[in-house]
């Protein structure tokens, strides 16, 4: 959706992103208004859904979650559900279709899907970096980090660390002890990690089973973004 893309454009690195600020601000205002109304509706008339659960948790612990934080988290979940999981599926489908042996193995045994999803997350993560704020003076591998400074955490690079992953540039769905950092860690671990994993584990085998002739229609396009790294489109044939 346009609002999701507008906000995502502001998350990239470099001075060129500021040209996207007006559209991102407008999108944030519109989504904030929408989720604010939705939260109010769920307070008055709860349903069996995530928004109802969050507003009930907020009511039980009002000091833990402000209205602004509630809306911000709902916007984040909304955006992530469109973009990052889409890139997980797009990046993963391209990787599998380009590797006939990997494809054949997954078709023969769909129970292998969890290993495929973890390796896709490691090899081509939908998010390549995160940003952290240092709350106190510290040191990272001999590099001083002062309080108040920002640190760019390169998740994509960590997932290719040869000290942690042997043959890191090889796509290996059967890789043992595969624990990529694609969902972050600590307090900022991705709230939607479990859902994204389930979607990938279900979707990849289902696509290959439903469309046995599924193939890439030429080379996949360029991926020019880092923070939300995936294909704008992925052309395929189904027979």
Would you state the structure tokens that stand for residue 14, as one six-digit string?
Answer: 């470099």
Query: Quick one: average pLDDT of 139-147?
Result: 94
Q: Say how far apart CA 107 and CA 209 lie, in whole Å.
A: 7
- This prediction has a pTM of 0.87
More confident residue, 73 or 215: 215
CA angle 79, 82, 85 (to 5 degrees): 110
Supply the pLDDT for residue 111. Answer: 97
Residue-wise pLDDT tens digits, 59-84:
998 888 899 999 998 998 888 878 89
The predicted-structure confidence for 172-211, as pLDDT tens digits, reads as follows 999 999 999 999 988 888 888 988 999 999 999 999 999 9
The overall average pLDDT reported for the chain is 93
Whether residue 14 has pLDDT greater than 90: no
């Amino acid at each position: 959706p346009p609002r999701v893309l507008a906000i995502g454009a502001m998350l990239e690195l470099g001075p060129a992103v500021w040209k996207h600020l007006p559209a991102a601000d407008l999108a944030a205002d519109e989504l904030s208004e929408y989720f604010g109304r939705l939260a109010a509706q769920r307070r008055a008339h709860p349903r069996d859904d995530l928004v109802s659960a969050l507003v009930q948790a907020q009511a039980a612990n009002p000091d833990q979650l402000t209205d602004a934080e509630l809306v911000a988290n709902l916007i984040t979940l909304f955006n992530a559900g469109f973009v990052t999981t889409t890139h997980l599926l797009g990046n993963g489908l391209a990787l599998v279709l380009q590797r006939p042996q990997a494809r054949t193995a997954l078709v023969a045994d769909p129970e292998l899907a969890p290993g495929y999803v973890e390796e896709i997350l490691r090899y081509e993560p939908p998010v390549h970096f995160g940003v952290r704020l240092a709350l106190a003076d510290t040191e990272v591998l001999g590099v001083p980090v002062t309080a108040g400074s920002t640190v760019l955490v390169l998740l994509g690079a960590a997932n290719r660390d040869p000290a942690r992953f042997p043959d890191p540039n090889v796509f290996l769905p059967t890789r043992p002890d595969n624990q990529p950092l694609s969902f972050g860690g600590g307090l900022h671990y991705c709230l939607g990690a479990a859902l994204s994993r389930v979607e990938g584990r279900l979707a990849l085998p289902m696509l290959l089973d439903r469309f046995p002739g599924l193939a890439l229609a030429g080379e996949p396009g360029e991926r020019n973004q880092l923070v939300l790294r995936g294909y704008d489109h992925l052309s395929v044939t189904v027979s």
